[in-house]
């Protein structure tokens, strides 16, 4: 290489290094769901909720970048570690003394994820192991240890963001990034809820700000492929079950004591308001809508003093908040995983022998996801699809019709209004954009390979006749 060439090479190399340094110094711009724009540099350290940390782990973040977590480190209602908190006040067994079964709690961190969390400072030491909603954040220790570069509050932890915490973070000069389940809000106007995959894409954007696009895409490539495959399997299961007339309902049940005639307490979930249920509905599952007023997440099937239930196992009806009570024909239950041990117990089935419960036509759903990642979404769809595809209509003397949804179940009109009590959407599943993109890329790669094979074959033929 000549001296002149070497000089030019050195100049361009130095210029490139300078540009990289400037870009790194400027950082990435990320606007959170409260409308605040933040500048994040690769490698910035984070304080966040424990389940959000697991989500970051799924996007490729290492423990060195997470300075601490707050909140519980197992699902509420779990009995991990021999601890059970009777949060639903309807104990159908001594669950604290029953051996922990990880298959009952798919949303609990697995061994790898627990090992990841165990390497991170716990700023909720008094309640993180209680297996119940943990609201402590040890601000004094944070001030003593030193704050991270950024604090992230996901929707599950929004109630932990107190004025006291915000004031201390501001005093420390630490920005707070807020992500909600209804993103895009910088005003007081109503913002529509989103499905789990849409929320996960927002978390992906945030992870890219911390880690860079190349690293995140390499990490989630396989998870996205598994989600696309799981979504297709789920669509098929939803279509088969709906064609057989199977109707599902999602609820937090049992809750509290039973009524005079064995009625159970329950909070019936609004499919369009819960991110996991919204994902299942947009993929074609027939989930009955409830009798909750618009924008409310649950219909309350519980007495006014919250002591006894009102949901009968026979002749089940809506509460009548929006008009005359309507019957609920439930062939398949989606039970909130916070009540798993009571719902699955023999004692509950004996006390409340609903047809779908007795026939074991049910599956869990982790209310509002808690962990927003493609891996977790794929796991949920895979678990629910298996019993759903085999489910049969149990109320065979009653035939109901699906309700066409103008604009689709992922549309703004449906997310804002839902459907009437007892109605369910027709099977019109969506396909996620990145799944279409993956198919297109695979098709292009296949065509390129076919072209290369054909060219090689022609060259061989030509060579043979030379």
318-337 residue pLDDT tens? 998 888 999 999 999 999 99
What confidence tens digit (pLDDT) does each residue in 288-298 have? 999 998 778 99
Q: Is the pLDDT of residue 198 over 60?
A: yes
Q: What's the CA gap between 279 and 272, in Å, rounded?
A: 9
Mean pLDDT of 382-406: 95
SS3 459: helix
Total residues found in the chain within this entry = 466
Q: How far, in whole angstroms, is CA 354 from its chain's centroid?
A: 28
Give the rounded distance of the alpha carbon of 425 from its chain centre.
21
Whole-angstrom distance, CA of residue 156 vs CA of residue 140: 23
Spatial distance between the Cα atoms of 257 and 308, rounded to a whole number of angstroms: 5
- Say how far apart CA 148 and CA 66 lie, in whole Å: 8
- The DSSP string of 79-123 is -GGG----TTS---S-GGGSPP-GGG-TTS--HHHHHHHHTS-BS
Bond prior to 254 in cis (omega within 30° of 0):
yes
If residue 170 lies in a helix (H) or strand (E), which one and from where to where? helix 163-171
- Please check the confidence at residue 452 and state whether its pLDDT lies above 80: no
Token pair belonging to 444: 């292009």
Beta-carbon count within 10 A of 48 CB? 27
What is the rounded CA–CA span in Å between residue 43 and residue 211? Answer: 7
Specify the pLDDT at position 4.
Answer: 45
Domains and CATH numbers, the chain: 27-73+109-211 (3.40.50.1980), 224-431 (3.40.50.1980)
The lowest-confidence range among 71-75, 151-155, 181-185, 359-363 is: 181-185
pTM for the structure as a whole:
0.88
Q: pLDDT for 250-299, tens place per residue?
A: 999 999 989 988 999 999 999 999 999 999 999 999 999 999 987 789 99
pLDDT tens-digit map of 158-185: 999 999 999 999 999 999 999 998 765 4
Q: What are phi and psi of 265, to 5 degrees?
A: -80, 140
- State the DSSP code for 160: G
pLDDT at 440: 56
Phi and psi at residue 160, to the nearest 5°: -85, -10
Provide the token pair at 337: 């995983």
Contact (CB, 8 A) for 253 and 343: yes
The confidence score (pLDDT) of residue 91 equals 83
Q: Token pair for residue 462?
A: 């030509």
């Amino acid at each position: 290489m000549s001296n002149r060439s070497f000089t030019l090479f050195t100049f361009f190399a130095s210029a490139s290094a300078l540009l990289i340094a400037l870009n790194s110094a400027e950082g990435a711009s990320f606007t959170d769901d409260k409308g605040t724009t933040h500048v994040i540099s690769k490698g910035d350290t984070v304080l966040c909720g424990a389940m959000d940390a697991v989500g970051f782990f799924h996007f490729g973040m290492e423990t060195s970048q997470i300075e601490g977590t707050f909140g519980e480190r197992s699902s509420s209602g779990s009995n991990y570690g021999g601890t059970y908190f009777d949060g639903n006040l309807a104990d159908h067994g001594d669950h604290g003394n029953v051996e922990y079964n990880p298959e009952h709690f798919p949303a609990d961190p697995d061994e790898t994820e627990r090992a990841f969390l165990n390497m991170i400072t716990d700023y909720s030491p008094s309640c993180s192991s209680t297996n119940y909603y943990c609201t402590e954040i040890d601000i004094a220790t944070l001030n003593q240890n030193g704050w991270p570069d950024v604090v992230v509050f996901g929707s599950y932890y929004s109630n932990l963001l107190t004025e006291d915490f915000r004031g201390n973070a501001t005093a420390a000069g630490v920005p707070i990034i807020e992500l909600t389940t209804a993103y895009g809000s910088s005003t007081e106007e109503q913002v529509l809820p989103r499905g789990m995959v849409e929320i996960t894409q927002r978390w992906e954007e945030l992870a890219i700000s911390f880690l860079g696009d190349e690293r995140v895409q390499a990490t989630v490539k396989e998870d996205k492929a598994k989600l696309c495959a799981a979504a297709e399997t789920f669509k098929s299961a939803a279509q088969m079950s709906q064609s057989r007339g199977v109707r599902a309902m999602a609820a937090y049940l049992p809750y509290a004591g039973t009524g005079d005639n064995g009625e159970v307490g329950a909070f019936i979930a609004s499919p369009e308001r819960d991110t996991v249920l919204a994902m299942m509905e947009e993929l074609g599952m027939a989930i009955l809508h409830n009798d909750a007023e618009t924008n409310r997440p649950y219909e309350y099937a519980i007495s006014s003093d919250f002591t006894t239930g009102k949901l009968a196992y026979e002749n089940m009806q809506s509460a009548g908040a929006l008009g005359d009570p309507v019957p609920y024909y439930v062939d398949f239950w989606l039970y909130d995983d916070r009540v798993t041990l009571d719902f699955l117990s023999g004692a509950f089935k004996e006390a409340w022998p609903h047809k779908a419960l007795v026939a074991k036509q049910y599956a869990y759903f982790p209310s509002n996801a808690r962990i927003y990642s493609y891996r977790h979404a794929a796991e949920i769809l895979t678990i629910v699809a298996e019993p759903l595809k085999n489910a049969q209509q149990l109320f065979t003397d009653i035939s109901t019709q699906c309700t066409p949804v103008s604009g689709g179940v992922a549309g703004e009109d449906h997310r804002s209004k839902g459907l009437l009590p007892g109605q369910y959407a027709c099977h019109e599943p969506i396909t996620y954009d990145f799944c279409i993109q993956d198919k297109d890329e695979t098709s292009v790669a296949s065509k390129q390979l076919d072209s290369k094979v054909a060219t090689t074959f022609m060259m061989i033929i030509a060579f043979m006749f030379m």
